[in-house]
Every structure is written in C-alpha cells, then in structure tokens.
A = this chain, B = another copy of it.
C-alpha cells in the first residue's frame, strides 16, 4: 500500500484486525512492542508506538519501540514472545508499522541508507541494492549465471502477490520483463528489487493455554532466533549466508525440526538474489544449488516447499518496520488455511526469515521464526 493514509490509520487498522482475530479487546493487552524504522513519515520519530496505539485505545501499559532496520518487527515480536514466555504477561501485542510515502523519495532513501552500514559502507557510497548487486556478482562468479532464475523468482513472487489482497504491487510480469528492466546495480535490475511501501501488521501473543481458550485454531511459536553478524570479517565468503545458517541452526534445534520438515517459507527477498541465497542459508538447498529449486518448481506455490506465497517483499511490499510481522501473519493465515486463492496445500510447519541492516559486512541481523499448528 502507498497512499495518503497515515501510519496511525493503517497501523490502527492492523491492530484492530489482530484484536478481532484473537478475540481480545484493547483493554486486555498488557504489554506492546512496536517495530518501526523511520517514524511516521518523519514527524513522529520518537515514541511512535504510543502515538499509533492510542488511536486504538491501547494506552497506559508498557509500550516499547524496537528498531533493527528491516528486521525491526521480528525483533519486536521476539521481545513480546520472550515477555510472554517468561510469564511476566499473558497477552502481548506486537505491531510493525512503516510509512515510507508522503515524504520526498530522497528523504526515505536517506532513512534507508542510514540503516545500512552508514559509517563504513555508506561513506564509500554503498547502497542496499549496491550490496545485493555485489553479492549477486560474487555468487555468479562462483556458481555460474543465475540471472534467469533470479528473474523467475520475481515472476513467481508477483504471481503469488496477485492472489494476495494485502500485496502492494499487483504486477503481471514475465521473465523477459525482468531481464529487460532498467539496470539498478548490475546484475540487479529494477524488477529484481522490492518496492518501498507503506504498511502495518500486528499479532497477539499469549501462552498456549490462554491462546487455546481464546481461539479455536491457535498457531504456536516453536522458535524465534536472532543474531547480529560479525561485521566486516575480511575472511568472509560473500556467496555464503553464514548469518542465516547460524540463526537457522539455533531455530531448527529449538523447534526440533529441520529444513525438510518445513511446509511453507517466507524469506527476505529485498532483491531476488536475497531469496536465492536465503534458500541456501536456511538449508533448503546446498550452496550453489538454490537455483535448482527455482528451475524444478520446488519453491512454487504448488511445489515441494513453497517460498513467499504472500508475494514476498517483492510483491507484498517492504514497509521496512512492518515486514517481519507481515511474514508471520502470512504463515498464520496459511497454517490456518485461510489464505484463499494463494493457499498452499495442508501446511503444518512454517518458517519466516527476516534480515535487517548492513549486508555486505553482515553487520545487521537475521531472524528466523518457526510457527506450527502442532
């Protein structure tokens, strides 16, 4: 969504939908965490959680904003989850919200560049798409040309997104459209890149026993893992998603599952090469083998392991501080078989991977969340 609506408008709407869905009222919320990067189009840059939540009557409780660039709302979800898990509260709310339109594009871009490694990479003129371009070049230098498969990832995600009423870009594109689109940072082209979006997503978290009282079909949190990287490790192999690997291993261990057990996956496809590399970092394919999942249709909505049935960042959009919880909402809808025309067949375990911050130096964060119907 990009519109005249304010963060308060669409943030409030997301909260209301989460409350209706979970059967709790605003007064039942004991603690709230809000993921946001840049404020409400730059006017409300502090205590934005309080400013948005007051509009839906969620006041007088602890409200905390969490920021970790594009992974902000997964990190907010993690704090809410830890709070509920520790027993210090029964019903927590998590909201991701971001308003990126309504300011000059250069202001929004400056906000985004400030979420990269601004002090080192930024000073050298690096941008996020520049980083993705360099990683794609490194990857292809090692494993061969995957430009067609990258284009097919964009085509897949837009096809999925056309079936998602929540998606920002309902584009009907084919491989040639991607390969012939404007070059952004070689080999990344315009249609390899996600848009800047407005959006919000919200979830209510409660202990299992409480959730089972509230709704007929709770979805369970089996793992939420997050780590920052090692930043500018000169030995680092840039074709490798070491940070994903490390975080995913902890999440798989926590949930007692492996990549072969997953029925549905949402990954951080800010650029198509990101999606491909996340396949490998998460262990869905060996290094260098990710493109095969595209070629053989495994990651299609009706494939062996559907990836980004929501449309991903590419089509659903990338309202940065909202993206992580939007991924989790998609998993919940899919696991409950409420995803309508984009429903994948009979899923019971889903994984979401959400990245944030500097990528080349791997200084940001990767998060992996595993949800299931049990």
Interface residues, chain A, with chain B CB atoms under 8 Å away:
8, 37-40, 42-47, 49-51, 54, 59-69, 75, 78-79, 82-83, 85-86, 88, 111-112, 114-119, 122, 226-232, 246, 356-358, 363-365
Contact = CB atoms under 8 A, between A and B. Distances in A.
A231 B64 contact: no
B61 A118 contact: no
Contacts of A114: 39, 42-46
Nearest to A62: B226
A122 B228 CA distance: 36
Contacts of A363: 47, 50-51, 54, 59
Contacts of A78: 62, 64
A358 B69 CA distance: 24
B118 A8 contact: no
15 contacts: A39-B114, A42-B114, A44-B119, A46-B67, A46-B115, A47-B357, A50-B228, A50-B358, A50-B364, A51-B118, A54-B231, A54-B232, A59-B231, A62-B78, A63-B68
Nearest to A6: B119
Contact of A79 (B46, B64, B358): B64
Given A8-B119, A63-B365, A88 B82 contact: yes
Given A114-B42, A228-B59, A228-B61, A358 B47 contact: yes
A320 to B, nearest CB: 8
List 7 tightest A-B contacts by C-beta distance, closest first: A46-B115, A45-B114, A86-B86, A47-B357, A46-B69, A54-B231, A44-B118
Contact of A119 (B40, B61, B65): B40
Contacts of A37: 45-46
Given A44-B118, A119-B44, A228-B61, A357 B50 contact: yes
A119 B50 contact: no
B122 A43 contact: yes
A243 B259 CA distance: 48
